[in-house]
Structure 1
Amino acid sequence: MGEGIMRLGYVVTRVTDLEAARKHYVEVMGMEATDRTDSAIYLKGWDEYDHHSIVLKKADRPGLEKMGFKVHTYDDLAELEKRLIQYGASVTRFSKGENHKVGEGVRFRLPSGHVMELYVEMEYVGKALPQLNPPPWPEGLIGVGAPRIDHLLITAERPQETVDFLMKALNFYMSEMVVEKPDSDVPIAAWLFRSNTPHDIAIIPGKDEGLHHFAFWLDEFNDLRKAGDVFSKHDVPIDVGIERHGITRGQTIYYFDPSGNRNEVFTGGYIAYPDMPVVKWTVDQLARGIFYFNHRQEWIEGFTGVTT
C-alpha cells in the first residue's frame, strides 16, 4: 500500500441546540463558520485549509455522529477498501457531494460501532493567512482562537477489538497503551496515530459508540492559560485543568460544549514516528498517566465514565 491515511479530517458531532453550539464554537473557540443549513453548521480553524473540520448536527441527543480521516490518494482509498472488507467490515461507498463539500469515499463501522469515513478530497478554502510571506497568526482572532482540531477519544466495550482493527485494517501505529501488568501486551486502552502526533485517535473502555472528547490543538502553554481565561469569562463548564498528561505528555483543559459534548484544548506532547517503541502504562499507574499533576485525587472514574 502507498501512503494510506494522512490525518483526522473531520468530526461530525450531534448537538441539541444549534444556536448555542454555534456561539460556543464560533464565539468561544474562535472557529470560522464556512457554511450553514437548517440542521448543520460547518466550521474550520484559522490554520486549517479544507472547508471544514467540525460539523455541528442538530439532534435529540449529543454525541459522535461520525468521523472522517483523509487519505493520500484514490489508489490508497481502493486498497484500504479491500483491506476493510478482508477484515470483515461492511463497507459502503459514498459519492462526491453526499457529504457536503467532500469528494467520494467509503463508510464503515468500527468494531465499537462508531461510524468512520475515508475520503481523499474536500473543497479547498485556504487558511486565514496568505500563502506568500505570511505572518505567524492572523489579526482578529476571537476567544480561544483555536488553529485546528487535533484528535478524538472514543469508548468501546471491547477496546482491544477496535485497536486491533485500526492497526491491522487501516495501518494505524500505537504510541502508548494501558496494560494490566508490565509484561502484558494486551491493550486495555490505546493511543494511535497516522500523522506525527502521539494520537489521532484513542480508545478507552466504555460504552460502544461513545465519545469521550474531541480536541483542539493550541500552539503553546500560554495559549492554554488564555483558553482557561476565556472559558471562565464565558461560563464554560470546565471538567479538568489546567492539567498535564503522563500519557502523551500533553498539557490540557477539558470542558463541555452547551450540549454536553466534552472538548479538550491540548498542547505539548511529542513527535511520534512509526518505528517508535510503544510506551506502556500499568493500570496501577493510570491515574498518573491521565492526570500527572493531581493523580492522587479521585477523578479518574468520573472522568473516564462521562461520555456522550
Structure 2
Amino acid sequence: MPVPTHIFDPPFNIVRVSHVVLEVTDLAASRAFYETVVGLRVTDADAGTVYLRGVEERQHHSLVLRKADGPACRRIGFRLGHEADLDAAAAFFAQRGLPHAFVEVPFQGRTLHASDPFGLPLELVAGMERRPSSLQRYADYQGVRPQRLDHVNVFAPEVQASLDFYAALGFRLTEYAEEDGPDGRIAAGWMHRKGNVHDLAFTNGRGPRLHHLCYWTPTALDIIHLCDVMATSGYLPNMERGPGRHGISNAFFLYIRDPDGHRIELYTSDYQTMDPDHEPLRWSLRDPRRQTLWGAPAPKTWFEEGSLFAGQDLRDPAFVADVIVAS
C-alpha cells in the first residue's frame, strides 16, 4: 500500500501529543499506581479527577484520571501552535462534516473537541496553565522517573486511511510494518510531529481503541528499576511485556497495565527524525526483530486487548494481519 506523502504546510499546526484523559473505576487506586509506582507528579486533584504530569513537564497535566463506572479513554489531546490554529482546526472539521465543538476544560485555554473520520476523540489545545518543572528535584523522584508524555498508539480498523488522514494534517511517517509481496498492506505505522519517532501510531485491529500511552524515561536502568519496584510492591501481575528493545524505534521498553487494565509503555533511547528528507523505514510484518530487536514476539494480549473510547462503536479491521504471536 502507498506510503503517505509528507505535507509541510498542513491546514493547522499540531505541535505534539499533549495529554490523555482516562476513565477509571477506583480513583484512589489509580492515583496510587501512577503517583507512587510509575512516579508521575500530581498537579491537582478533587473527588472525581486527578491531574498528573511528568517530572520535566511544565504544562499543568499530561494525564487526567476521571472517576467513572467503567474504564475507557475519553480523549487524546494534541497541542497546537497558536490560538489561530484552533479556529483553523474548527474550520477544517466543519468543512468535512466531522463532529467538533469548543468546550470549557479546567486548567486549559480554549479547547476544541473533535472526532476524526474513524471515531478517534480528540482534544485540541493551544495552551494550558503552567507549573514549574520538577526535573532537578531529584530527591523527590519515584518509580521510573517519567520525564514526559511521548506518544499514543491506537488500534485502527483502517490503518491506511488513518495514516493518510493524519499525513494530511502534517504528521510524518517514520516507520511502518507491511505485508510482503507486490500487494502488501500496511498493518501498522508510526507518525510524528515533534521530531522523534512518533506522537501517534496505528496498529491494525478491532477499534478504534487506545492500545497504549507512553512516557519517556531517562535511561534503560530506570525501566529495570521499575521492574524491581513492581515485583516487590504487589504489581507483578501488571507487568505485561518486556523489558526489551524494539526493532521499530530502537527504544528500550516495558509495558505495564494500570488497575483498570489501561496499557502504559515506559520508553527510552529512540532517535530523532526532524530532517525534511527523513525517509520512513519499512519492516516486513513477518520479521521478528520489528517487535523486539532480540526476536522475542509479543503476547496474544498485545494484539487483542485495548481501552475502549467512551461512546464509540467498534469495527472489525479491514484485514487480518498475519503477525507473529508468542506461544
Considering the TM-score relative to the shorter chain, is it more than 0.5?
A: yes
What is the one-letter code of the residue matched to 2:266?
V
Counterpart for residue 53 of structure 1: 62
Distance 1:256 1:294 in 2: 23
Distance 2:188 2:97 in 1: 22
Q: Note closer, same or farther for the CA distance 1:103–1:158 as it changes in structure 2 (3 Å cut).
A: same
Counterpart for residue 212 of structure 1: 211
Q: Is 2:120 aligned against 1:118? A: no
Counterpart for residue 229 of structure 2: 230
Distance 2:140 2:67 in 1: 29
Q: Note closer, same or farther for the CA distance 1:204–1:217 as it changes in structure 2 (3 Å cut).
A: same
Counterpart for residue 30 of structure 1: 39
- Contact in 1 for aligned 2:157/2:208 (Cα 8 Å): no
Q: Deviations over 1:37-63 (max 9, x none)?
A: 222111111110011110011122223
- Contact in 2 for aligned 1:238/1:256 (Cα 8 Å): yes
Q: Deviations over 1:152-196 (max 9, x none)?
A: 11111112222211111x211111111122656853211011001
Question: How far is the alpha carbon of 1:198 from its aligned partner?
Answer: 0.3
- Contact in 2 for aligned 1:193/1:201 (Cα 8 Å): yes
What is the one-letter code of the residue matched to 2:278?
M
* Greater CA drift, 64-73 or 107-116: 107-116
SS in 2 for 1:99: coil
Counterpart for residue 132 of structure 1: none
Match of 1:75 among 81, 84, 98: 84
Distance 1:109 1:14 in 2: 18
List gaps (5 residues or longer) in structure 1: 130-134
- Contact in 1 for aligned 2:149/2:214 (Cα 8 Å): yes
Q: Note closer, same or farther for the CA distance 1:77–1:182 as it changes in structure 2 (3 Å cut).
A: farther
Match of 2:277 among 254, 275, 278: 275
Counterpart for residue 319 of structure 2: none
Distance 1:112 1:128 in 2: 37
What is the one-letter code of the residue matched to 1:55?
V
Distance 2:187 2:27 in 1: 35
- Contact in 1 for aligned 2:22/2:71 (Cα 8 Å): yes
Question: How far is the alpha carbon of 1:251 from its aligned partner?
Answer: 0.7
- RMSD over equivalenced CA pairs, Å: 1.9
Q: Deviations over 1:90-119 (max 9, x none)?
A: 22222xxx1111111321112331211111
- What percentage of aligned pairs have identical amino acids? 29
* Greater CA drift, 75-84 or 29-38: 75-84
SS in 2 for 1:61: coil
TM-score (norm 1): 0.89
- Contact in 1 for aligned 2:15/2:79 (Cα 8 Å): yes
- Contact in 1 for aligned 2:156/2:202 (Cα 8 Å): yes
Aligned length: 295
- Contact in 2 for aligned 1:112/1:155 (Cα 8 Å): no
Counterpart for residue 115 of structure 2: 109
Distance 2:226 2:97 in 1: 43
- Contact in 1 for aligned 2:241/2:299 (Cα 8 Å): no
List gaps (5 residues or longer) in structure 2: 1-8, 308-327
Q: Is 2:183 aligned against 1:177? A: no
Distance 1:53 1:302 in 2: 26
Question: How far is the alpha carbon of 1:87 from its aligned partner?
Answer: 4.2
> Which stretches of structure 1, 4 residues or more, deviate above 6 A after TM superposition?
none
